[in-house]
Copies of this chain bind each other. A is one copy, B any other.
Amino acid sequence: MRAEIVAVGTELLLGQIVDTNSTWIAEHLASAGIDCLFQTRVGDNLERIVEVLEVALGRSDAVVVCGGLGPTQDDITREAIATVMGVPLRRDPALLAAVEAVFAARGRQMAPINAKQADLPVGASPIRQRIGTAPGLVCPVGAKVVYALPGVPDELREMVERAVLPDLLARSGERAVIVSRTLRTWGTSESGLAEIVAPRLEALDRAGPGAATIAFLASGIEGIKLRLTVKAETAAAAAAVLDAEEAEVRALVGDAVFGVDDETMEHAVGELLVDRRLSFAVAESFTGGLIASRVVALPGASRWFRGGVVAYASDVKHAVLGVPEGPVVTSAAAVAMAEGVRRLLGADVGLATTGVAGPDPQEGHAPGTGFAGIALPGAVGEAVALRLAGSRERIRQIGTISALDELRRRLLARA
């Protein structure tokens, strides 16, 4: 089974947006064991989309097309696929009703222009939308297939996982599965991790086929990921190998691992707080709501998150959080903020950030200076200097995850 990807959109050819859709699809095809040997980008031009689809179908078994399914005049992917199939478009009454229902649910009347999103080439079947309005398409072309997906990343990803990958795997009859598991770490450099994990890498080299492989992915504000990958006959067999390998790696890396796969740092903190039956509040200066917004992104955060104060102006720190008058980019201010927000919001645990995100210095400190304050039940408040560098945005992001990591390590230490 050989697939390829075609991204449609003049904005791609003009370099106005980066084609992350193709990258995401390619990664997921690879993980599913489906070869992807070509990717093409083409503009909103019927003749050229048709040409690209014909070239792609000439050399691959399946083509995943993204973009060009919207309601406007320049959305012509449906027409191009119908041309390649040699069939007309037909309007599907059930799809039309579904598109109208999306507008109705938003309290709007559907403009007539949107009706074309209910068109599909004769012989094609729709992939139902769960997020936006335009359905996807599964279009047989002889023994081959073209999938058409909307260019909106959320919509595209949901359809790839729910519909395209299962259909491709069913068509390919592929028996081997390639499964990866990612251990997410924070607080150790890439070279440091490489040294720690080196004995395991050597053991795996000696073990040969069937053993896991380990890749290091430096992921910026998401930390450094260790990706364990194995190819096996069944998902269960792969999981068994990955379980054993994860245990080996964790034995070496220890508490630097904060999560697996999609588990975030705030997820790890939340699990620990729930386990220890503690509620949480946060006071933020230079992170400015980033910690709170990451926490609230977790479904179920209401079990442990009470709220936060974004104390951006210095006098808000003094008046609302009870930070003593004086400089605020200090470890003492961080502790006072953590204790103040814990008290104000009636939480068991308080976390605080204060620092300089830049671009200008503050209180004589260069951008990158920052402190986390931590107030735990039955303990004196504590501050930690954070190691921050880079742009304003990066300093705020690194400050957010670093402060949460400091709290995580202290919660781990409480039985």
Contact = CB atoms under 8 A, between A and B. Distances in A.
A312 B293 CA distance: 11
Contacts of A302: 312-313
Given A113-B191, A390-B131, A26 B15 contact: yes
A13 B72 CA distance: 30
A108 B189 CA distance: 9
B38 A26 contact: no
A319 to B, nearest CB: 7
A301 B285 CA distance: 12
Contacts of A20: 18
**For the complex of A and B, 4 pairs with smallest distance between CB atoms:** A288-B296, A15-B27, A289-B292, A15-B26
Given A40-B40, A40-B41, 13 more contacts: A13-B30, A37-B45, A38-B48, A39-B41, A51-B59, A74-B215, A114-B191, A152-B220, A288-B301, A297-B393, A305-B312, A306-B313, A307-B313
9 contacts: A15-B29, A17-B23, A39-B40, A40-B41, A71-B194, A111-B191, A299-B359, A306-B313, A309-B310
Nearest to A288: B296
A200 interface: no
Contacts of A29: 15
Contacts of A320: 307, 344-345
A340 to B, nearest CB: 12
A306 B312 contact: yes
B27 A23 contact: no
A410 interface: no
B286 A310 contact: no
Nearest to A293: B289
A89 interface: no
B40 A26 contact: no
A30 B15 contact: yes
A128 interface: no
Given A191-B71, A345-B316, A310 B289 contact: yes
Contacts of A154: 220, 390-391, 394
A106 to B, nearest CB: 6
Interface in A319-367: 319-320, 344-346, 357-360
Interface string A103-126: 001111011011000000000000
Interface in A81-113: 105-108, 110-111, 113
A334 to B, nearest CB: 16
